[in-house]
Structure 1
Amino acid sequence: MKPLAAGDPVRLGPHRILGVLGEGGMGKVYLGRDDAGRPVAIKVLLPELAHDPGMARRFVREARAAQAVASPGVARVLGAWTDGERPWIATEFLAGPTLAETVERLGPLDETAVRALGAALARTLQDIHAAGLVHRDLKPGNIVLTSAGPRVIDFGIARPEHGLTLTATGTSPVTPGYGPPEQVLGQRVGPPGDVFALGAVLAYASTGRRAYDGADVAAVQYRVVHGAPDLSALPPALLPVVAPCFARDSAHRPAPARIAAALAPPKSARNLWRRGPLGDDIARREAEARKLVAAPVPEATGAPGRRRFLAGLAGAGTVAVTAAGGGAWWLLRGGGDGEGGRPAEKEAAPAPRPWDAKRLNAADHRDGEPPTPLWGPFTAHRLGRWLQPVRDLVLVAGKEGLRALRVTDGQVKWVVRNDHQSHSAALPNGLVATVFEDRLVAVDVGTGKPRWSAGEHVLRVLAADESAVYVATGESAETRLCAFDFSTRALLWDVRTPIPQAYGRGDSRAAAGSGRLVLFGGDEGNAVALDARTGRTVWRQPRQGIAVGLPPVFSGSTVYLGGSSLTARRAEDGKTIWSIPAKGKPFGYVGGWSTPVLDGDALYAVDEDRISRRNRHDGKADWTRPLDGLASTNSVTVQGGMVWVSESNDKGMIALDKATGAPVWTWSNGFGEWLAAGAGNRVFLLRDGQVTAMPVT
């Protein structure tokens, strides 16, 4: 959440405004508190749009549509003002994840949960239709899971049942794969259109993938109109209920009441949203939401105390905030920068996931003696060059392709070919981007099947953010950079690379965040930041390293770099926040500062033969420990209560207590370069094509 800026309101109606949750093309959404101390989300139309008759009418229609529905399945509208230069809508503040986020993080729901979800959504559609409305944009991102059950949000394109569509023939504002054939064709959309979307939502919730998919939006929409949904992974008991929702003729789709009756979950499902990993996640978010509005707020707008208060809220933990009627949700992550470089409050512990391992306690191991591996070593790739955990899998890329191992036992789940021993990048919605036959390919993490492809002469995946994936392209060497929208597969921009590549090998590394794509490496070891929207070079830091690039690391609006100095820079303009020179000149994969690793307010990095833990806000050291020999610049990993680092190619990986730097044990199984990654209370070690999963304290 951001502090209020000049021009932001302090009060709207009976609501005290606390901060800015987000903003978009139509307006801003604020966090507010009513006179009873309840949190509210308030959407305000931009002043310049309030004078646009078309936008003003849409905003008024949104307010009226949301107010017209009396249902426990939608977020209540608490108030609205649709006149004057600052129209606003105040709704319940829902602290909980969306269905899309839940499936992405925890995996598909089980059959009982899908039944409870479907029955609740069907009853909500009954209420919406009884109010004379059609939602027209039911999708996983517009369904919030709360402790009281699923809630439907976003009435931005809802229309009276007798109304026509908002768009011309052949276009649709709805997410591809969730809008019915009649909506794709620009025809009248009635209540059966929402039933089609409900079927698509339940298929996604149950399987983790869309019922209609394709290489691009046009292909998805073509399948919606002319093809059949992919329901092959749907549990047999759900198939007779979900399949009829996709009838091409809207008259043949079942009514919501019939769907609710057919799904009828068992009585034990009443507390479904309050137990297990999902229940824990919801409860944690609700607790953080209460903290947001319980803290006192200084009255003086713009005063330093108020700014510090809001900065503290931004770092107070993780809470999903949803504004119904606004059609937006925000994930406020802990660890944001405090004012004047002061550390923000510590992050809340991440919610446990079903595949997380149990951490070791003092009775489970002896100091100095490594414990038994959780699994492995298993052969993954003879020349493995990339290792990344993604959900319940750990992906290894090498000469033979991209291989997915289950994090729980190391068994191979799937293998797909990829080119150039390419680095890959995890995308939202359970996809991972890689390169195959010189094209960018998005692979379904759950199945290993390609979902879509784009581009040509693609050599390497560089990075991805919440909306785009960035690649290097060229006929024989990396000469250009491209950005592709991962939802539409459209080319966003194509520019000449600002970093010459060492010997044509593609030695730069990249990361994306805070509206920037930062590349580091190349012949001269430069760091260069591009505007992620346009590809325009924004700032450059010359000779930050030598030839071999190290991945930049983002945290909020700050980017951290290793190399010739350990440096924190403002992502927006490259301004130095703090910088610490390396002991010596970096060369290849040794020397200089390593890639920094962030863990809350702590930063861990290696400088030649020593590792230190530092405050990421000012770079000051908490502790420093010497290592036995030069460490690799790519081998620092933090997981659980430990930090792992490669002392040298023949010494192995040493595990340290991350709070003190004291050695706990050393693990070695041969000679060679190490790659390491951590997730789910495991550290994955890759050496000579062998992958081992180790426990952590």
Structure 2
Amino acid sequence: MNPLGTGDPLRLGPYRLTGVLGAGGMGQVYLGRDVRGQLAAVKVLRSEIAHEPEMARRFLREAQAAQAVRSDGVARVLAAQMVGGRPWIATEFLAGPTLDQAVERYGPLDEPTARAVGAALVRTLMDIHGAGLVHRDLKPSNIVLTSRGPRIIDFGIARPEYGLTLTTTGESLATPGYAAPEQVLGQRTGPAGDVFSLGVVLAYAAGGRPLYEGGHVAAVQYQVVHGEPELDAVPPAIRTLVVPCLDKEPGKRPALDAIARELAPPRAADRAWRTGPLAEDIARREADARRMATLPGDEAPGPSRRRLIGGLAAGGAVLAAGGGAGAWWLLDHDDSQAETRPWAAKPLAHHQEGSAPTPLWGPVDTGLSDPDDEITPLPVHDLVVVAATGRRLRAYGVRDGGKRWTSAVAGLTGRPLVLFDDTVLIADTHGAVRALSAEDGKERWAAAPADAATLLAVDDKAVFLATRGGRLRAVSLATRSTLWTVPSPVRLRGGRPAAGAAAKGRLVVHGSDGQAVALDTRSGRTAWGPRRHGTTAVAPAVDGDTVYLGGKALTALTLATGERKWTHTATGDLGWGAPALHDGVVYAVDDTDLHARRADTGAAEWTVTVGPEVHPLDPPVAEGRSVWAVVDSTGRRGVVAADTREGRIAWPYSQGSDGAWRLAGADNRVFLLQVGQLTAMPVL
């Protein structure tokens, strides 16, 4: 979620708009709050299509369809009006993960929970059909798990029972892999179409993977119409339930009341969203929603609404959009907000010019003296994780540096990754991918054999790794199975092993040969590249729809296509180090200088000299109003902190010993690790 921008309305009807949640195919979606503090997702038809009568009719039809359903299982429509020729719809703001988010984070649902979810969906579909409508876009991302149970959202392409799938010739609004065969073919779609979608959804919930998959939309749709579903991952009891729903002939699919009798969830089957990790997730999101509902305006004292909305810009809201026609927004838990991270440090109010402040704590001896075994400190929740003796992980509290746990799992290779702010992913010497609880370091699950040499990146669906055989592989977070394996277009091992980043359907890998390539995260197919950007691996950085690369030039590329946005050639022989992004600014070191450049245009903000020509290629660390950079490769000269507001060196910091420095930042702290000594420093 982002703050309101130029041209965004400030108020619609009774709702004061507080932020931009995003956009669907037809409308811009805002977070609104009325005078009672009630939150709403307010969707406004895009101005560029508001003049088209058919678009306006379809938009208002969405509100009318949702208003016609009287059910506790749907998101309620709160208001729908026309303002200045542009219609808007206000819907209930639901706090909870979507079904696909829950499965990706916590794995497939057990049989009782799957039956409970199915029973709730059947009741709601019966209410929808009882109102004379067919939802036509039932899928995991349109099902929200709340403390009151599953809720179906998005009536953007709902129609009366006699409605057609196609709006104009060749324009299909069906979601690939979930829409029934008759809907894919543009034929009349009745309640049996929702039954087909229900079967696919239940199979996904219980099995953890889609039934119909393919490299592109046409391949998926072909499988739905002509192929057979992949049911191996679905437990037998649930498989028996869903197979009749998947019949290609609508008339042969069971009625909803018959499905309800077959589901028959056991007593207390709904405990999954009442107790346990999923329930805790829902509770956190609901607490965030209550905080947002009670925040004062910008003009009032107390916690700033603008600050909270800015914190959510990092990913606090998740879109569940249906078929490109509707957009319904949910509050997603995001602990990066200062108000919800009580362990966050306070920035320095004052500091002596040129003199390093006293550390918040440390140096703490981690017991690891071999620099080859060290990893960059990994902040996760209220801990910072480092390597320990025996290639184990050890966690320290960010407030006091006190030791919290040492993992029982040994044989760490490469760098660990953070998953969902409560899990640490590692690869071990046996090639397995293991997930450890950030709370206590205990193993949650393992994906073996994965043949992992090192982990490259993770998104909300998969962890991406380099295999010991020099290939690239994606492993599902939901099923722990291999999604795809492809030959690597770039070299993965060398003086500096390959580094990667994953976002928005792209895995970007910068190889040890200096070449960069982007792969489609769903299939492993090369999306663009490889292209040479230097002579060795330099970690990429992704922000929004842009990837930033160091090397022979500091370059900004469109993430999806690799199209160049801007570039600045290095002046030093070593080239640009890895970039770091913070508040719309790119920070990177070239030759002797630390540069700050605007992320959107590449225009220079400021440049300061930090040290000798030989500098490490690791990224600087931007935290608070300071950016930290290592001075030299030997480590003896230490690090420097620069004031990002004025573009000047605020202070140097050194421990007076040789050894590589590894830096990380979070919650107004910068963690410094050198030769096994871990220190937490304050920031401006």
Aligned twin of 1:20: 20
Establish whether residue 501 from structure 1 lines up as the match of residue 534 from structure 2: yes
Moved more, 146-155 or 1-10: 1-10
Unaligned regions of 5+ residues in structure 2, if any? 348-378, 384-392, 437-441, 493-498
Count of aligned pairs between the two proteins: 615
Hey, what's the Cα distance between the residues in 1 that align with 2:100 and 2:537? 35
Report how far residue 289 of structure 1 moved.
1.8
Alignment of 1:115-514 (within 5 A): 115-166=115-166, 172-270=172-270, 272-297=272-297, 309-315=305-311, 319-320=316-317, 326-329=327-330, 331=332, 333=334, 373-378=406-411, 387-388=416-417, 394-396=425-427, 403-407=432-436, 408-409=442-443, 413-416=447-450, 424-430=456-462, 432=464, 442-445=474-477, 449-452=481-484, 457=489, 462-470=500-508, 483=518, 485-486=520-521, 494=528, 497=531, 500-502=533-535, 506-514=536-544
Hey, what's the Cα distance between the residues in 2 that align with 1:434 and 1:145? 35
Aligned twin of 2:107: 107
Aligned twin of 1:95: 95
Aligned twin of 1:674: none
Aligned twin of 2:562: 535
Aligned twin of 1:584: 612
Report how far residue 163 of structure 1 moved.
1.0
Hey, what's the Cα distance between the residues in 2 that align with 1:372 and 1:290? 33
What SS does structure 2 have at the residue aligned with 1:5?
coil
Report how far residue 230 of structure 1 moved.
2.6
Hey, what's the Cα distance between the residues in 1 that align with 2:620 and 2:161? 55
> What TM-score do you get using the length of structure 1 for normalisation?
0.74
Cα distance, 1:52–1:412 mapped onto 2, change above 3 Å:
closer
Report how far residue 92 of structure 1 moved.
0.7
One-letter amino acid matched to 2:501: A
Residues 425 and 434 in structure 1, CA contact (< 8 A), matched pair in contact too = no
Aligned twin of 1:664: none
Report how far residue 72 of structure 1 moved.
0.8
Report how far residue 404 of structure 1 moved.
1.9
Cα distance, 1:337–1:273 mapped onto 2, change above 3 Å:
closer
Hey, what's the Cα distance between the residues in 1 that align with 2:8 and 2:418? 41
Q: Deviations for 1:302-328, whole angstroms, at most 9, x for unmatched residues? A: xx9999742443227985466895344
One-letter amino acid matched to 2:679: L
Report how far residue 470 of structure 1 moved.
3.4
Report how far residue 350 of structure 1 moved.
5.3
Aligned twin of 1:561: 588
One-letter amino acid matched to 1:326: A
Aligned twin of 1:574: 602
Residues 612 and 621 in structure 1, CA contact (< 8 A), matched pair in contact too = yes
Hey, what's the Cα distance between the residues in 2 that align with 1:136 and 1:358? 49
> What TM-score do you get using the length of structure 2 for normalisation?
0.75
One-letter amino acid matched to 2:448: W
Residues 559 and 569 in structure 1, CA contact (< 8 A), matched pair in contact too = yes
What SS does structure 2 have at the residue aligned with 1:43?
strand
Cα distance, 1:321–1:224 mapped onto 2, change above 3 Å:
closer
What SS does structure 1 have at the residue aligned with 2:236?
coil
Cα distance, 1:366–1:330 mapped onto 2, change above 3 Å:
closer
What SS does structure 2 have at the residue aligned with 1:425?
strand
What SS does structure 2 have at the residue aligned with 1:375?
coil
Report how far residue 335 of structure 1 moved.
5.1
Report how far residue 43 of structure 1 moved.
0.3
Report how far residue 133 of structure 1 moved.
1.5
Aligned twin of 2:679: 656
Hey, what's the Cα distance between the residues in 2 that align with 1:8 and 1:286? 27
Alignment of 1:47-58 (within 5 A): 47-58=47-58
Residues 613 and 624 in structure 1, CA contact (< 8 A), matched pair in contact too = yes
Cα distance, 1:659–1:307 mapped onto 2, change above 3 Å:
closer
Residues 98 and 140 in structure 2, CA contact (< 8 A), matched pair in contact too = yes
What SS does structure 2 have at the residue aligned with 1:102?
helix
One-letter amino acid matched to 2:16: R
Report how far residue 59 of structure 1 moved.
0.8
Residues 99 and 143 in structure 1, CA contact (< 8 A), matched pair in contact too = yes
Hey, what's the Cα distance between the residues in 2 that align with 1:81 and 1:306? 33
What SS does structure 1 have at the residue aligned with 2:237?
coil
Report how far residue 136 of structure 1 moved.
1.6
Report how far residue 264 of structure 1 moved.
3.4
Aligned twin of 1:691: none
Aligned twin of 1:33: 33
Residue among 512, 524, 545 paired with 1:515: 545
What SS does structure 2 have at the residue aligned with 1:47?
coil
Q: Deviations for 1:470-512, whole angstroms, at most 9, x for unmatched residues? A: 3579xx9766x655554587876x4684x5422xxx4333122
Aligned twin of 1:632: 660
Residues 133 and 161 in structure 1, CA contact (< 8 A), matched pair in contact too = yes
Hey, what's the Cα distance between the residues in 2 that align with 1:345 and 1:287? 23
Aligned twin of 1:66: 66
One-letter amino acid matched to 2:505: S
One-letter amino acid matched to 1:501: G
Hey, what's the Cα distance between the residues in 1 that align with 2:338 and 2:397? 33
Report how far residue 193 of structure 1 moved.
1.8
Q: Deviations for 1:340-366, whole angstroms, at most 9, x for unmatched residues? A: xxx9999x99599xxxx997789xx99
Aligned twin of 2:368: none
Residues 199 and 242 in structure 2, CA contact (< 8 A), matched pair in contact too = yes
One-letter amino acid matched to 1:529: A
Residues 3 and 306 in structure 2, CA contact (< 8 A), matched pair in contact too = yes
Hey, what's the Cα distance between the residues in 1 that align with 2:56 and 2:487? 39
Hey, what's the Cα distance between the residues in 2 that align with 1:167 and 1:133? 17
Residues 462 and 474 in structure 2, CA contact (< 8 A), matched pair in contact too = no
Report how far residue 390 of structure 1 moved.
5.2
What SS does structure 1 have at the residue aligned with 2:93?
strand
Aligned twin of 2:619: 595
Residues 427 and 465 in structure 1, CA contact (< 8 A), matched pair in contact too = yes
